């Protein structure tokens, strides 16, 4: 194990070097309050997965925050602002898209990699109106987190190795993938219309209706509602929370309703944080998640963050099954380069009511994210 961790730490250093900035996205403005700004990020990672019998070592793109590029156009109209956002992933091989039998393509872009084609109209009095490919109201609702270790550890525990299958005690690959057994039940991105109210005493209400416009022959329809509340200055604490409900209908599939949310608190003086997340799908699947984090300025380069977390889920694949995962993560910021390096370890275990038993699996992920 120590050899694997040392190798992954070396990979994180290499990834940081590969991600070192050569350029940065400028902003252009006009005389009427308009602007154009482009941005992006690269997030290469080294993944070492052990299914209990074999090791698999791959270079991947970290699914927790994939490599991407995009731009914003903004134009002010009095006290209101019209915005347009385009963003796409590069389509690099993803950490949750490889498995024991396939490494996938190094680069494979199609239109499902488009993240945002989004028009937004921000009004000073009536809130924000959005239309286009973009976040549903419940997107990110389970992601409240002050730990600073989201690149290596979050309630989306399948991001690190979701494509791999559990191996049975007899040594055969099962039909149960990590991504099926560990879901965060978070909202996603669709072609949608969305409305967000103005903030009132820290509260924001959002609702949306959308369909999957990026896939062929798809009639999925979703609608949702979410409430968020945050307070950055609560007697020495910072607080963030949200809860939402979504409904999905699609021909040939059972209708489903998800209820999910999260809560996070940071003690500013010590850098200690706690975040909790949970979700339930009415037709099958519940989970709960907890993370303890610590963040401090230990070196001059930038802040250092550590965390330990635990996920417990049930009924995600079949009735009566159980899925557990725990992980540890460290993230080091290098402010001068806009780089975050990370090293994370995660363990997965699964059991169901069948006669089969499954070996535990684990993954080490090391890499660096450079934002420009």
Q: Would you say 147 and 155 are in contact if contact means Cβ atoms under 8 Å apart?
A: no
pLDDT for 307: 98
pTM above the 0.85 mark?
yes
pLDDT for 13: 46
pLDDT for 110: 95
pLDDT for 27: 83
How far apart CA 133 and CA 85 sit, in angstroms, is 10
Q: Please give the chain's pLDDT, 372 residues, in tens.
A: 444 544 454 455 444 444 444 445 668 998 888 999 999 999 999 999 999 999 999 999 999 999 999 999 999 999 999 999 999 999 999 999 999 999 999 999 999 999 999 999 999 999 999 999 999 999 999 999 999 999 999 999 999 999 999 999 999 999 999 999 999 999 999 999 999 999 999 999 999 999 999 998 889 999 999 999 999 999 999 999 999 999 999 999 999 999 999 999 999 999 999 999 999 999 999 999 999 999 999 999 999 999 999 999 999 999 999 999 999 999 999 999 999 999 999 999 999 999 999 999 999 999 999 999
pLDDT for 289: 98
pLDDT for 8: 54
pLDDT for 31: 87
- Spatial CB neighbours of 132, under 8 Å, sequence gap ≥ 6: 116, 117, 118, 119, 191, 192
259 burial (CB, 10 Å; 0-12 / 13-18 / 19+) is middle
Q: For residue 322, how many other CB atoms are within 10 A of its CB?
A: 15
- Spatial CB neighbours of 297, under 8 Å, sequence gap ≥ 6: 303, 304
Q: What is the CATH number of the domain that holds 236?
A: 2.40.160.10
- Total tally of structural domains belonging to the chain: 1
Q: Would you say 58 and 103 are in contact if contact means Cβ atoms under 8 Å apart?
A: yes
How far apart CA 229 and CA 241 sit, in angstroms, is 5
Q: Would you say 331 and 153 are in contact if contact means Cβ atoms under 8 Å apart?
A: no
Token reading at 66: 């994939």
Token reading at 208: 């949306």
How far apart CA 10 and CA 45 sit, in angstroms, is 11
pLDDT for 4: 56
How far apart CA 208 and CA 192 sit, in angstroms, is 7
How far apart CA 283 and CA 296 sit, in angstroms, is 42
pLDDT for 25: 62
Q: Would you say 290 and 274 are in contact if contact means Cβ atoms under 8 Å apart?
A: yes
Please state whether beta strands 80-89 and 114-123 pair in parallel, antiparallel, or not at all (unpaired).
antiparallel
> Tokens 């990590």 belong to which residue?
178
Question: Counting every residue, how long is the chain?
Answer: 372
Q: Would you say 214 and 189 are in contact if contact means Cβ atoms under 8 Å apart?
A: no
Domain that holds residue 222: 2-371
Specify the 3-state DSSP secondary structure of 21. Answer: coil
């Amino acid at each position: 194990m120590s050899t694997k961790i040392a190798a992954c730490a070396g990979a994180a250093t290499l990834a940081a070097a590969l991600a070192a900035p050569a350029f940065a996205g400028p902003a252009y403005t006009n005389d009427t309050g308009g602007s154009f700004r482009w941005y992006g990020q690269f997030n290469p990672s080294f993944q070492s997965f052990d299914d209990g019998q074999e090791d698999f070592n791959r270079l991947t793109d970290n699914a927790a925050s994939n490599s991407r590029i995009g731009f914003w156009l903004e134009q002010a109209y009095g006290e209101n602002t019209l915005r347009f956002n385009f963003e796409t992933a590069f389509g690099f091989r993803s950490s949750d898209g490889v498995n024991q039998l396939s490494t996938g393509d190094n680069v494979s872009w199609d239109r499902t990699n488009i993240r945002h084609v989004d028009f937004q109209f921000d009004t000073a009095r009536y809130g924000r109106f959005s239309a286009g490919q973009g976040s549903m109201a419940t997107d990110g609702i389970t992601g409240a987190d002050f730990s600073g270790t989201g690149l290596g550890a979050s309630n989306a525990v399948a991001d690190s190795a979701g494509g791999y299958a559990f191996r049975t005690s007899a040594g055969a690959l099962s039909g149960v993938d990590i991504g099926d057994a560990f879901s965060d039940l978070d909202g996603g991105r669709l072609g949608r219309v969305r409305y967000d109210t103005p903030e009132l005493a820290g509260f924001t209400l959002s609702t949306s209706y959308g369909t999957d416009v990026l896939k062929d022959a798809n009639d999925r329809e979703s609608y949702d509602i979410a409430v968020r509340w945050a307070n950055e200055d609560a007697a020495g604490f910072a607080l963030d929370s949200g809860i939402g409900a979504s409904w999905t209908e699609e021909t040939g599939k059972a209708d489903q309703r998800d209820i999910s949310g999260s809560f996070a608190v940071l003690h500013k003086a010590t850098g200690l944080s706690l975040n909790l997340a949970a979700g339930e799908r009415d037709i099958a699947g519940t989970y709960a998640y907890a993370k303890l984090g610590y963040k401090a300025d230990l070196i001059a380069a930038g802040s250092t963050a550590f965390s330990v977390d635990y996920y417990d889920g049930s009924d995600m694949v079949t009735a009566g099954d159980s899925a557990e995962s725990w992980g540890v993560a460290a993230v080091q910021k290098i402010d001068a380069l806009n780089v975050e390096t990370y090293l994370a370890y995660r363990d997965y275990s699964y059991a169901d009511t069948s006669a089969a038993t499954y070996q535990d699996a684990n993954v080490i992920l090391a890499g660096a994210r450079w934002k420009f």
